[in-house]
Amino acid sequence: MVLVVLAAGFMLILLGLYGALIHRNILHMIVSFSVADTGVNLVLIAVGYMPGRTAPILDSNVSVADAVERIIDPVPQALVLTAIVIGVGVTALMLAYAYRLYQTKGTLDISKFTELKW
Amino acid sequence: MRVLHAQLGHHFTLGELVQVRADLAFVTLPKEHLRSAVLHLRDICKFSHLVLMTAVDWLEEERFQLTYLLHNREKHWDLGLRVMIPRVASHMESIHDIWPTAATYQRELKEMFGIDFPGSPGVDESFILEGWKEIPPYRRDFDTRHYAEKTFTQREGRKTEDPAKTMKAKLYPDET
Amino acid sequence: MKKELEKRTVTGPDGQTFEVEPLIDYYCEAHPTVQPPAYSKIIENLFNWARSESIWILGFGTGCGAIEMRPLMTPRFDAYRYGIQWRPTPRQANLLIISGYLSVKTLKRVIRSYEQMQSPKYVIGLGSCTINGGMYWDSYNTIKRLDDYLPVDLYIVGCMPRPEALLEGFNTLKRMIRAGNAEGANTYAANFDWYKTNQKRVIHDWDMPDYNW
Amino acid sequence: MQQFEWIQIPYSLLTLFIVLNFGLLLNALMAKIAARVGRRRGIPIYQNYIDLIKNYGLRTSITHGIMFYLGPVFRLAGGVGLLLFVPTLYGSEMFSNLSFAGDLILALYFVFFGALGMALGAGESGHPHAAIGVSRGLSQMTMAELPFALAVFSVALQYDTLTISEIVKAQQGSLFHWTLFTNPLAVAAAMLSFLGSMMRPPFDVVLAPQEIPIGPPTEYHSSYLALMQTNRMIFPIAKIVIIMNLFFGGATNWPIFFAKVFLIYLFAVFVGVVFPRFRVEQSIRWFLIWAVPLGVLAIVLV
Amino acid sequence: MVSPLFIIAAPLGTAFFISLFSKEKQRLAFLITLAAMLLMSLVSLHWVFTYLTSGPVDYYTAGTLPPFSINFRMALPEACLILLINLTGLFSTLFLKNSLLRMGRLSMAVLLIDIMSLSGIVLTRDVFNLFVFLELMAISTGGLVLLSEDNRAPAAGLKYLIVSQLVTILLLIGIIFAYHATGTLNIDGLTVASLTHSTGGKLAFFLILIAVIAEVKPFPANGWALDIYESAHPSFSVIFSVASSSAVLFATAKILSIAGPEWLPIASNVGIITFLAANLFALSQTNDRRLLGYSSLGQSGLVLAIIGQQDILGDHYLYVAGGILLAHAVAKAGLFWMSGIIKGRELTDWTTIQGHPFLIFSFATFIALLIGLPPFPAFYAKWELIHSLAGAGRFPLLAMILLGTLLEVGYLFRWFGIILKRKPDGPGVLQKKRHRKRMVIAATTAVGWGMGYLWGTLSPLGHLFHATPLLFALSFLLLDWLPARIKNSLAIAGLVGYFALQYAGYNPMQLIFASVILIGGAVILLAGFDNTGRRIGFYPATVLMFAGLIQLIEARTSFDFFAAWEILTVGSYYLILRGKQSEPHALSYILFSLGGAFLILTGFSLAAQGGYQIELQMLGTVPQSVAPWVFLFLALGFMTKTAAIGLHIWLPGAHAEAETDVSPMVSGILLKAGLYGLMLLLMTMGKQQLYGVELTHMLLWIGALSALLGNLLAIFQEDAKRLLAYSSIGQMGYALFGLALMNHLGWLMAMMFVINHYIYKSMLFLSIGGVARRTGTKEMYRMGGLLKLMPLSFIAVLIGIIAVSGVPPLSGFGGRWIFYNAIMTSEYRLPIAVLFLAGPIAFLYLFRLIHTIFLGQLKDEHRRIQEAPFWLIVPQMIFVALLMGVALVPGVALRRVDHYIGQFFPNEGGGLNWSGMTISSDFGYWNPVAIMVVVGVMFATLLAWLLFVNRQAQVVKQFNIVYAAERPYRPETTHFAWNFYAPYRKALGFLTQPLVTRFWQTVTDLLHAASDLFRRIYTGNGQVYAIHLLAFVVMVYLYSKGL
């Protein structure tokens, strides 16, 4: 079961990278990057999964004492949370850039912004 | 030469041909035609060598006669073109661009006859007579003997004998 | 006056401008002075003897006589036997041979060479053209009497004397030098102005100092 | 190698007197020989004396400046110095002149003293032909001196000494002790380069009479010229003395000295009379092709 | 003691606090940010002092042990880096005041977060936490790029974000699989769990490592960084290039500590390729900020390469990496800030700072910091780096580092030359009245010099600032406002005083060199009294050169020797650069000299056999396996300074275009440094064999050829000073030949040449300089006939040429005499033939020099020239007296050196004995006094006789010459000077083909062509940069597979 999720995660990453490197339009790139980010998050989760255990939430049905046997590894979960937040931050910034670039040049084609070269 | 003269006749108004020898002839032509005739002769009729340029002072007719002697190397022909130009304030177009050697002739003619060739290189530089103040000496109205006696101190007691008489007297004393 | 001889103002590398007068700045204007013979007679005789025995001729052929001087260097006449040789520069020459007609233009150059020779110096005139104008007696261009313009020591007559005549002329010159009366240089220095006026009357564009050292 | 004594001064003056007279007569003789080749009688034997007296006796002279003065003085000092720094006769204490001051190298470099002074004097005269003459002379001299330096060095290596008297001592004894036979390559190179320094026709483009009127001395006359003529008499003999000492066994008495100098000088005259004048680059190429390889072989095979 | 967490909490707190402010209180918000930055810097300073003594201390967040908490480690390196980051942040905020106020308080918040994230990267020991801080840095950098007015900045920002996305993907996958393999995220935990043994762990580690290295901007994947450097606000570029680079580099070091030493080659190879590529591309840059971008990429590549050498550097690793990193940081910060105050973006627009001596001084300091010239930290760092590399036998890396530095020298000093020598035009005008910004630059310069002092104290090899001559030279920097005459007398007093103090301690050979340098320098400096005004920059450079020279003579160890060598090179470079058209020549001079210096550095490092320095006397004991190579490198290095043929093309331009009194110094004294080096080398190492080739035999041939070709080239020169410069090459060829003869008299001849060459070359250069100043030109054919107007200069030149030509009465003959005796015992014959030809050739150019200038026809415009200035004549007359002295009594100078050299050739005998006035050797004898007297007497008698006979000679003027009975046209046409030796050129012209110049020209053209071609890979398209990164990752992976 875990392998399926892992494979899906990697597929998403490759798909995202492919999309980012093929489409000239900046928005397409941003979307494909976020697809890649979700793929990475999937992989993070898949690595942390232990079969037959439940989510690491200490509430009524999982008490502190028997938490060690019943819950899956909580550390990857925490990492995913931070990764998602950072993904959001970076995507927001890229969108802001896309907006500013469209204002200056009136186009979103990345190959048009090559004044800085050599 | 006659054939040549006929051919030239078609293009330029020529005077009649004076045949001095089989390979030497003179022809007079108007002043305006000279440059084109010289060019024609040089390029087409192969008169490739400008032998000399002289002038003759016809004091009586108030004319200078300019003679351009051209030579055809293949046929070994000499053709003299004669041009008559007025004696007073006389000038003639320069042909130094056709033959560079002409510049020296023209310079000499300017100094000796006073014929001006505007545009010829160094035409008014002194050629032989440095600082000459008199009229150009080759003109016939210039009296060389009078000038010689005036400027140069003579040695006294110099007498000139006519060489013919002296030799005759010496060789055949008894005939006199 | 030629352009390069006119007075011109020049600015030096440090910006200071000044006048340059070529005829004064480039040439020495001193006039020649009469050179006294050596202090004692014996020394003067020795010097005269030496001067007569080694006459150095300036290689300056002016007219048709120059061709007569060539044979003197060949085995047949061989002037070297008399201690005579040809020097290319007037500085080292003692004898100037005017060989033939002398046009006004050549006279100017001859005067310059003569004045560049060191005293005592001698002049020989060859042929009748230098004596009385010869066959060019009525020409507007040649001078008629040489000794009006240069102090001539010896004339060799002939309408171009042969090399033998030249050798004979040299011998007479030797005798004159030994006798001590070949003082052409001093006569030139003594009545310098007379010579100059004669020369200037004939040479019209005089663009050189009075005496060319 | 002795120390300086005062007696050496009159002795060297005596040598100078002898060599001067010998030079005057020898040059006249050489001129006569050259004339006889052209079937001319040539100048009388005493002609040089007369020329000297006449030049000293001239009454006027001009000067272009102090350096103009120093030219002939440098020249004659160079010639006389070259003569006096080299022992003329071997073994005789009287005629070893002032050779205590320096050895073979001093002689080699003192040759340039005269040439440099003459060049400066000619330069001061302001005459373009003088400068052209000097530039030709110096260019030609660089290549002419190379084989001579190589030959001298190979001789020094051969006898393992730099003092002239020891070289001459090594050559005493029979004729076959001369360097001519023991080290022929060096002698060949030296003789070819000797032609170059003698101002004789094949290599006299420096003076080039009539072409650039006698090159450097164009502006010199009267007493300056006299000084230079005395040097023209002494300098060749001084140079020949060196060659004689190094290559032809030196001279123990005056007659041998006169004979050897005459013969060596004759070699240069014979070559000079027959050949026309080389241009500068031709003479340089000639030396490079013929004389320098001989010299290099000499120092390699010594 | 404050806990490291403070450095994270403080900026975060201030950032949030500021965002609460309303719009109007921008100024207050700025003051608070400034206060926060100041506080953080003070705290980090406090940390640096505390951790100077105590060892590293770990701090755990959330109170528990690592697997479940993030731990920060604080030690000395971290403290220093944090101090660097915070100081940069403080100065940048000061610099960014206007744009921050323009962009509002949020940009201040972003700036604070950026500084916080950088400190975080340095501190954190947790991999995921490192990822978080990297991302924070990425986002804040993205934000701060918008600060710049340049409208191309957003495009650069976008490219950066695209690349950081890819890095995020790589890093996250790497981290999760590392956690999966070992169960911990802590770096120490990963090392303990030996992550890299299992295959999965190896891949995970590789991903983390390559992600962090990608942040260090490696070669193919750093297009985005260049675009940011070019378009961002210069102050931000400072933060980007200094702070973030150092932080990321430290992170790479931490990551690398996880794996064993087999992963280090990846870092060093990527680093060195980046270093070389960046410097190569910088050659063809015209935009100043892009050039600085390339330079900072190069420097971070170099530090990465050094991180890759941890295994062999051992405990010196921090000292070396720190030295280069801090030097790069200070220099880059300073240069970017300077570009901030200059409006124009082209390199030539920087010429506006010509009028500001302080800005020029700081620019020079920053260049010296970057390249690693002596007083600065990078010098010590590079010295130890090269030594450890040589010790470990990693020669390709060593060679590449030195080549890269040489490229750096090329484009930085070219830029310096453009700034100082080009005419200021165009928009590059300085922003008016920016005192705040200039204060920042001044502070950076001060920090640079302070660091130089700090690194000196830390260095085990001895402190450069403790050498009194160097201090004396630097004191002139402070005295530069004094008038020139006072400084001149001060310098002369200093030189002579130092000689008086030190001369007792020198051995005879050192005594000669020291007297030539100090006393000789003082005499030439006399010519300095000639100019009025302040002559800014002349005296520090001159005294620096002399300090370098005298320290060279007194150096005992290879470190002091090399430091002195570089000091004198730098000092002489600034001197030569003062000439009017000397820009290209000074550049070729510095390139050749520093190239030579690097060769010497390699030679010394080889000789040190892994140690950090070697006693100069111990050079002889270097093992035979490496000795020939050491000899080869050192000899080549010294020969660049004596301009042997092949390495000589810098000399003519440098000596000809230098100022009047600089040429004699550079030509008469500086060339002796190379000779002293060669002398030392031959003394200690003697004969060496390399592949069967006798090295001293090669030197013999090089000496002979440079003597011949130097003299030959001198003949055909039209420019007087160039003629003298080529003649110096010839004379140095003679000296080199003497040294290479390896026998007693050969060395004595070289010493004689050292003295002679100094005297007559300085005299000739001074007199020609005086003539050139009066006539306004150096072209010989324009002068002529100056004898009567400048008699004293004429006497000096006359005596000079007689001495140079070796004609008997004067001292040149002494040299020639010893030369003849020396070659009698040498076993090689052919080079001697070449040298015999070179001798008489000297006559040609000497006569040309004196004829075309003093004799011949006087030109119109020179008729009113006065004699050369008084203060130029005085040294010339002193030299004439000296020449006469050496000619008459050579024993005074040479006797003791003769005995001293004798000890090196005990068995051969061969010495001279100096009994009485005659000097005799085994072969011949020479009595200088007798020659002088004889020649003098002859000369005087003949002159007196001639004067008597010609007492009434008629003095005539210049046109009274026998001109074939004609009148000379004009002085110009009658003065024979132009193309003086035309027939000689026809005969031997083929020898003077400029082969060497063409060779070096093709080398530089190739470099420029390669740089111009390969820099095209940065196409400017963001996607292409992403592909570059992925390709880079794949390539490195394949490479690491091969390991």
Report the pLDDT value the prediction gives residue E427, as an integer from 0 to 100. Answer: 57
Q: What is the DSSP string of E706-762?
A: HHHHHHHHHHT-SBHHHHHHHHHHHHHHHHHHHHHT-SHHHHHHHHHHHHHHHHHHH
- Return the pLDDT at E1041: 84
Q: What is the phi/psi pair of residue C123, to 5°?
A: -125, 135
Instruction: Tell me which residue of E615, E613, E720 sits closest to E667, measured CA to CA.
Output: E720
DSSP code at position E517 = I
Distance of residue C174 Cα from the nearest chain D Cα, in angstroms = 13
The answer on E455 and E506 residing in a single domain is no
Beta bridge partners of E525: none
Given a cut of 80, whether residue E68 has pLDDT beyond it is no
Contacting residues of D for E943, CB less than 8 Å apart = 69-70, 73
Please report the pLDDT score of residue E431 as a whole number: 66
Within a domain: E592: yes
CB pairs under 8 A between A and E: 120
Inter-chain touch E158–A37, beta carbons under 8 Å? no
Q: In what order do the strands lie in the sheet with C95-99?
A: C85-87, C56-58, C95-99, C122-126, C154-156
**pLDDT average, residue stretch A26-51:** 90
Neighbouring chains to C with at least 3 Cβ pairs closer than 8 Å: B, D, E
CA dihedral (D170, D171, D173, D174) positive or negative: positive
Nearest chain D CA: its distance from E958 CA (Å): 7
Q: Do E777 and C13 touch (CB under 8 A)?
A: yes
In this structure, are E967 and E924 located in the same domain? no
D129: nearest CA in chain E? E976
Domain of E74, in residue numbers: 1-125
Contact (Cβ atoms closer than 8 angstroms) between residue A79 and residue E175: yes
What distance in Å separates the CA atoms of residue E390 and residue E630, rounded to the nearest whole number? 11
Question: Same domain, yes or no, for E118 and E131?
Answer: no
State the chains in contact with D (3 or more Cβ–Cβ pairs under 8 Å).
C, E
User: Do E118 and E202 sit in the same domain of this protein?
Assistant: no
Residue E1040 — pLDDT band, cuts 50, 70, 90? confident
How many domains is chain A partitioned into structurally? 1
pLDDT digits (tens, 9 = 90+) for E315-360: 888 889 999 999 999 999 999 999 988 888 888 888 888 888 888 9
Q: At what angle do helices E245-258 and E105-123 cross, to 10 degrees?
A: 30
D217: pLDDT strictly greater than 90 = no
Rounded to a whole number of angstroms, the distance from the CA of C132 to the nearest CA of chain D is 32
Nearest to E340 by CA among E128, E94, E606: E94
Say yes or no: E353 and E417 in one domain.
yes
* Cβ(E101)–Cβ(E27) below 8 Å: yes
Distance (Å, whole) CA D234 – CA E698: 44
Least confident of D81-85, D93-97, E699-703, E731-735: D93-97
The predicted structure's pLDDT at residue E369: 93
Q: How far apart are CA D236 and CA D229, in angstroms?
A: 12
Contacts E976 to D, Cβ<8 Å: 128, 131-132, 135
Q: Do E805 and D116 touch (CB under 8 A)?
A: yes
Q: What are the tens digits of pLDDT across the range E847-866? A: 999 999 999 899 999 999 99
Residue A1 has pLDDT above 80, yes or no: no
Task: Calculate how close chain C gets to B140, using CA atoms only, in Å.
Answer: 13
Among chain E residues, CA nearest to A18: E1027
The backbone torsions φ and ψ at residue D251, rounded to the nearest 5 degrees and listed phi first, read -130, 135
Residue C38 burial (CB < 10 Å; 0-12/13-18/19+)? Answer: middle
The domain locations on chain C are: 31-202
* Residue A86: inside a domain: yes
- Secondary structure letter of residue D288 according to DSSP: I
Other C-beta atoms within 10 Å of D301: how many? 11
At residue B49, the pLDDT reads 94
DSSP D125-185: TT-HHHHHHHHHHHHHHHHHHHHHHHHHHHHHHHHT---HHHHHHHH-SSGGGSHHHHSHH
Residues E757/E735, Cβ–Cβ less than 8 Å: yes
CB pair distance less than 8 Å for A93 and E173: no
The answer as to whether D2 is a domain residue is no
For the record, the structure tokens of E291 come out as 């050039």
Residue of A nearest to E155 (CA): A113
CA–CA distances in Å: residue C70 to residues C62, C65, C85, D31, E781:
13, 10, 11, 19, 41
Q: Has residue E1007 been placed in a domain? A: no
> Which of D70, D109, D203, D301 would best serve as a mutation to test chain E binding (most E beta carbons within 10 A)?
D109
Residue D25 belongs to some domain of the structure: yes
Q: What is the mean pLDDT of residues E587-613?
A: 92
Answer whether C29 touches D (CB < 8 Å). no
Residue E952 or residue E599, greater confidence: E599
Instruction: Give the distance from residue C125's alpha carbon to the nearest chain B alpha carbon, in angstroms.
Output: 15
Cβ of D61 under 8 Å from any chain E Cβ?
Answer: yes
Check CB contact under 8 Å for C138 and B144.
yes
Does E992 touch chain D if contact means CB atoms closer than 8 Å?
no
Does the structure show a pLDDT above 60 at E428? no
Asked if the C-beta of A49 comes within 8 angstroms of chain E's C-beta atoms, the answer is no
Domain boundaries, chain B: 2-153
Residue B127: the pLDDT is 86
Phi, psi of D91 (to 5 degrees): 90, -30
Full-model pTM: 0.91
| Cβ contacts of E918 on chain D, cutoff 8 Å | 1, 3, 100
Q: If you average pLDDT over residues E23-39, what whole number do you get?
A: 88
- At D213, the pLDDT band (50, 70, 90 cuts) reads low
Structure confidence at residue E923 (pLDDT): 85
* Residues with Cβ within 8 Å of residue E244, at least 6 apart in sequence: E118, E137, E141
Residues 128-147 on B with a CB inside 8 Å of C are 128-134, 137, 142, 144-145, 147
Confidence grade of residue D263 (pLDDT, cut at 50, 70, 90): very high
Query: What residues form DSSP beta bridges with E91?
Result: none
Could you read off the pLDDT of B28-55 as tens digits, one per residue? 999 898 999 999 999 998 999 999 999 9
Phi, psi dihedrals of residue E694, rounded to the nearest 5° = -75, 110
Residue D54 has pLDDT above 80, yes or no: yes
> Which tens digits make up the pLDDT trace of E805-830?
989 888 889 889 999 888 988 888 88
Record: contact B130-C108, CB cut-off 8 A: yes
Sign of the alpha-carbon torsion through E591, E592, E597, E598: positive
Say if A59 falls within a structural domain.
Answer: no
Q: What is the pLDDT of residues E923-936, one digit of tens each?
A: 888 888 889 999 99
Q: Give the model's pLDDT for residue D14.
A: 92
Q: How confident is the model at residue B126 (pLDDT cuts 50, 70, 90)?
A: confident
Residues in chain A: 118
Interchain CB distance below 8 Å, D280 and E987 = yes
pLDDT, position E432? 65
Long-range residue pairs from B29-34, CB within 8 A, at least 24 positions apart, any chain: B29/B81, B29/B82, B29/B83, B30/B83, B31/B83, B31/B84, B31/B85, B31/B92, B34/B68, B34/B81, B34/B83, B34/B92, B34/B93, B34/B95
For E128-179, the pLDDT digits (tens) are 889 999 999 999 998 898 888 888 899 999 999 999 999 999 999 999 988 8
- On the question of pLDDT at C1 being above 80, the answer is no
How does pLDDT run across B82-102, given as a tens digit for each residue? 999 999 888 899 999 999 999
**Tens digit of each residue's pLDDT (9 = 90 or more) over C95-106:** 999 998 999 999
The mean pLDDT value for E566-589 works out to: 92
The ipTM, to two decimals, is: 0.88
What tokens does B88 get? 């007073």
Closest by Cβ to D222, choosing from C32, C118, C213: C118
Name which of E271, E439, E385, E414 is nearest E1004 in CA terms.
Answer: E414
Quick one: DSSP state of residue E913? Answer: B
Q: Which residues of E touch A75 (CB under 8 A)?
A: 68, 179, 185
Q: What is the mean pLDDT of residues A5-24?
A: 92
Closest-approach residue (CA) in chain C for E771: C13
E42 vs E424: which has the higher pLDDT: E42
Interface of E with D in 782-801 (CB under 8 A): 785, 787-788, 798, 801
**Which of D35, D58, D213 lies closest to C88 in CB terms?**
D213
Strand order of the β-sheet with B24-28 is: B18-21, B24-28, B77-86, B63-72, B49-58
Q: Identify which of C103, C108, C144 has the shortest CB distance to residue B153.
A: C144
Interchain touch A–D (≥3 Cβ pairs closer than 8 Å): no
Residue E737: pLDDT above 90?
yes
Q: Does A93 touch chain E (CB under 8 A)?
A: yes
CB C99 within 8 A of CB C165: no
Instruction: Indicate the SS3 state at residue B34.
Output: helix
pLDDT of residue C59: 87
Tokens of A2: 């875990």
Structure confidence by residue, pLDDT tens digits, C155-180: 998 888 999 999 999 999 999 999 98
CATH number at residue A84: 1.10.287.3510
Q: Number of H helices and number of E strands within chain A?
A: 4, 0
Residue contact C144–B155, C-beta within 8 A: yes
User: D44-74 burial string, b = 16+ CB within 10 Å, else e?
Assistant: beebbbbbbbbbbbbbbbbbbbebbbbbbbb
Residues E157 and E52 in one domain: no
Coil, helix or strand for A54? strand
Query: Measured between CA atoms, how close is E753 to chain D, in angstroms?
Result: 17
Total count of domains within chain E = 4
Q: How far is it, in rounded angstroms, from Cα B84 to Cα B93? A: 13
Residue at A6 is within a domain: yes
> Are D163 and E924 a contacting pair at CB < 8 A?
yes
D1 inside domain: no
Rounded distance, CA E761 to CA D68, Å? 26
Question: Which residues in chain E are contacts of A83 at CB distance < 8 A?
Answer: 172
Q: How many distinct structural domains can be found in chain D? A: 1
- Cα torsion for D45, D47, D53, D59, to the nearest 10°? 180
Residue E408 distance to chain C (closest CA, Å): 42
Interface contact E987-D123, CB threshold 8 A: no
| Cα–Cα–Cα angle for E986, E992, E994, rounded to 5 degrees | 135
C133/B147 touch (CB, cutoff 8 Å), yes or no: no
Find residue B50's DSSP bridge partners.
B70
Residues counted in chain D: 302
Identify the CA nearest to E524 among candidates E546, E502, E553, E554: E546
What is the H or E stretch that residue B71 is in? strand B63-72
Domain range B2-153, its CATH number among 3.40.250.10, 3.40.50.1440, 3.30.460.80, 3.40.50.150: 3.30.460.80
Q: Which residues contact B69 (CB under 8 A, 6 or more apart)?
A: B50, B51, B52, B53, B54, B78, B79, B80
CATH topology of domain C31-202: Rossmann fold (3.40.50)
